[in-house]
Amino acid sequence: MMHTRDPHKSAAAANRRLWRHFWPKTVSARFGISLILFWIAVAMLAPWISPYPPNAQDMDALSNLGPSATHWLGTDLLGRDILSRILWGARTTLIVVPIATASAFGAGTAIGLASGYFGGIIDRAISGLSDIILSFPTLILYIVLITSIGPSLVNIVIAITLASAPSIGRIVRGLTLELRTHGYVAAAEMRGESVLFTLFLEILPNARGPLLADLSMRAGLAVVTVGTLGFLGLGLPPPDPDWGSMVAENVTMIPVYPYMALFPGLAMCSLVIGFSMLADGLEEDQ
């Protein structure tokens, strides 16, 4: 007697296999990605879960700045709800960080592949320019770039890309130099495949393990960068909230009301920890 396969069960089994394939295998990576997904959900739902508009001032709350039933995390010096500003600040961070990280990785991967594959004068030119950029202290480079072109979301992305792409390019260059000697690269060249095919479909996929771990670590560094620029007054123009500027606005009140700076600082640290643990887990998976 022939048994027919239930298509619904087959689809469910296929979905479970796909989920297990993409879901991290290590505990640290799972915890890290859970933290990241939590903040992504917060950023997406901020307009609906935020108790107050982020810039709304409650004059009555100025007499009681501490946490209360009305303002769970208290208010800042202008009577603005800290919890609401943290929730909306997550949107700022999780817009800038993925775009800046992807932009830096795209540029760094392109120059690293070109430098490692072609060698010669192209390699020397790219390496020389990268050495010049990397010779500057990173924070000084950010300050010079942002003060030159002005603080905005787009300019923060540009600054992170210019500062990070050379170091990413060095990693990709090293991997390319190693992988270009493998047989599958020679086979692709013998088949007459294009350079772009060889770089992006033969070399790059075989370097994805180390690059994914580095990508996660770079995203954590981008969170720190966005927070640092906000703290220095080089982030979003006020009054739009970001976690770094929230710490800066309330830093003078730390001796009296430490939670004003503590809560946005903890939010930023938790997201950095998430990316760091994901990077560690991805390295263990390799």
Note whether residue 34 is domain-resident.
Answer: no
Q: How far is the CA of 222 from the CAs of 42, 53, 94, 233, 252, in angstroms? A: 19, 26, 10, 16, 26
Q: Is residue 260 part of a domain?
A: yes
Q: CA of 72: how far to CAs of 86, 205, 282, in Å?
A: 12, 47, 36
77-122 pLDDT per residue, tens: 888 999 999 999 999 899 999 999 999 999 999 999 999 999 889 9
Rounded-to-integer distance, Cα 24 and Cα 224, Å: 24
pLDDT given at position 192: 84
Answer yes or no: are the C-beta atoms of 254 and 261 closer than 8 Å. yes
Identify whether 172 is part of a domain.
Answer: yes
- pLDDT at position 18 is 40
Is residue 252 in a domain?
yes
User: In 3D, which of 94, 100, 97 has the Cα closest to residue 43?
Assistant: 94
- From residue 116, how far is each of 42, 111, 269 by CA, in Å? 41, 8, 36
In a domain, 168, yes or no: yes
Q: What is the four-CA torsion angle of 123, 138, 96, 154, rounded to 10 degrees?
A: -80
Instruction: Specify the CATH number for the domain of residue 215.
Output: 1.10.3720.10
Residue ranges in the chain modelled with pLDDT below 50: 1-3, 11-15, 17-19
pLDDT given at position 286: 60
Counts for the chain of helices (H) and strands (E), in that order = 12, 0
Q: Is 211 a domain residue?
A: yes
In the chain, how many domains are there? Answer: 1
Whole domain around residue 84: which residue ranges? 71-285
Look at the alpha carbons of 138, 100, 76, 259 in this order and tell me if their dihedral is positive or negative.
negative
Residue 152: which region, alpha, beta or left (left: phi > 0; alpha: psi -120 to 50)?
beta
Residue 60 located in a structural domain: no
- Answer whether residue 220 is part of any domain: yes
